[in-house]
């Protein structure tokens, strides 16, 4: 049985684990003891290490034939040092992983003015966090080309699930943009993203990128209204852009600066993924 290494042991990785353990001998990089116990309960072998400490990653060299990389970049800086540390260690092994799947973000496209876009859209990230994701993508592509290994990129938007909703934002009463100035947002259910990761390990072509988004075409305010109704909370007030900027932190307001509608044709055609939750309305109802 092939060996698979999971890097980034969060919610999506755990959702994918039930399927992955039926097809691979699975290892997971973890920093904390409590996370190691949760992985063992899922039939996964934990490996101690920290992406911020390259010396702690030595055991990863030559460990697995495939890698599922879900770890986020650091919270600051212009580059993703965590991905660079990982690739440095993976390159030391006698046998390098043959396939690596990385979950990036649709934020690498930047602001598209509400246009319809696909994977051929030039990447022009605005936020520093999206620029770090782009750095990771570029490092991974170079590593794959230099070592003749298959690298597949999955670009995900806002991930939601029953326990991943903007409840705190709604409870705090933060406003949203008026309909006239609102921006398009994109979504994917955590279960569907986990399934896309699994399918990319088998069906993703070398060097291919995939937008992992659902079928919804919602303005951000519509999303907040939908969640508010689902949670039986008041809908957020609507303000124009100038008034809204005065009430939000720079990080919160940054999400209001980008608008894009993202196509998922390649996801459905090449990865043959049939979404279980094609829209947030359907996902919240179930």
C-alpha neighbours within 13 Å on the C-beta side of residue 1: 10
Res 11: pLDDT: 95
For position 252, what pLDDT does the model report? 87
The predicted structure's pLDDT at residue 42:
95
User: Domains of the chain by range and CATH?
Assistant: 3-160+187-214+261-276 (3.40.50.720)
DSSP-derived letter for residue 181 is G
Q: How far apart are CA 260 and CA 252, in angstroms?
A: 17
pLDDT at 23: 95
Handedness of CA 62, 200, 44, 163 (dihedral sign): positive
250 phi, psi to nearest 5 deg: -55, -40
Q: Give 223's DSSP letter.
A: H
Instruction: Report pTM.
Output: 0.96
Question: Do 138 and 126 contact (CB within 8 A), yes or no?
Answer: no
Tokens representing 121? 């859209």
DSSP structural state of residue 78: S
User: What pLDDT does residue 5 have?
Assistant: 98
Name the pairing type of β-strands 218-219 and 184-185.
antiparallel
CA distances for 75 relative to 52, 79, 130, 133, 182, angstroms: 11, 10, 11, 11, 27
| Residue 55: partners with Cβ closer than 8 Å, 6 or more residues away | none
Low-confidence ranges of the chain (pLDDT < 50): none
Phi-psi region of 8 (alpha: psi -120 to 50; beta: other; left: phi over 0): left
pLDDT at 255: 86
The confidence score (pLDDT) of residue 9 equals 86
pLDDT at position 251 is 85
Largest CA distance in the chain: 58
Specify the pLDDT at position 86.
Answer: 98
* Strand pairing category for 25-30 and 184-185: unpaired
């Amino acid at each position: 049985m092939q060996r698979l290494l999971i890097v980034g042991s969060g919610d999506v990785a755990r959702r994918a684990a039930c399927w992955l353990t039926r097809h691979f001998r699975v290892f997971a990089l973890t920093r904390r003891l409590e996370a190691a116990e949760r992985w063992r309960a899922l039939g996964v072998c934990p490996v101690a290490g920290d992406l911020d400490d390259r010396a702690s990653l030595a055991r990863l060299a030559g460990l697995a034939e495939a890698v599922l990389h879900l770890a986020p970049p650091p919270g600051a800086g212009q580059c993703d040092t965590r991905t660079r540390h990982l690739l440095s260690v993976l390159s030391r092994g006698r046998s390098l992983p043959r396939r690596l799947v990385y979950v990036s973000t649709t934020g690498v496209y930047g602001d598209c003015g509400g246009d319809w876009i696909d994977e051929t859209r030039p990447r022009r990230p605005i936020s520093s966090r999206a620029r770090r994701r782009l750095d990771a993508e570029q490092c991974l592509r170079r590593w794959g080309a230099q070592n003749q290994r298959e690298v597949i990129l999955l670009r995900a938007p806002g991930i939601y699930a029953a326990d991943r909703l903007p409840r705190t934002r709604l409870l705090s009463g933060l406003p949203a943009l008026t309909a006239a100035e609102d921006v398009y947002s994109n979504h994917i259910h955590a279960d569907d993203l986990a399934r896309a990761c699994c399918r990319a390990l088998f069906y993703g072509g070398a060097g291919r990128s995939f937008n992992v988004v659902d079928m919804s075409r919602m303005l951000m305010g519509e999303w907040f209204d939908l969640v508010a109704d689902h949670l039986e909370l008041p809908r957020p007030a609507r303000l124009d852009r100038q008034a809204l900027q005065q009430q939000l932190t720079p990080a919160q307001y940054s999400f209001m600066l980008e608008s894009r509608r993202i196509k998922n044709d390649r996801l459905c055609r090449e990865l043959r993924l049939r979404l279980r939750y094609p829209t947030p309305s359907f996902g919240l109802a179930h």
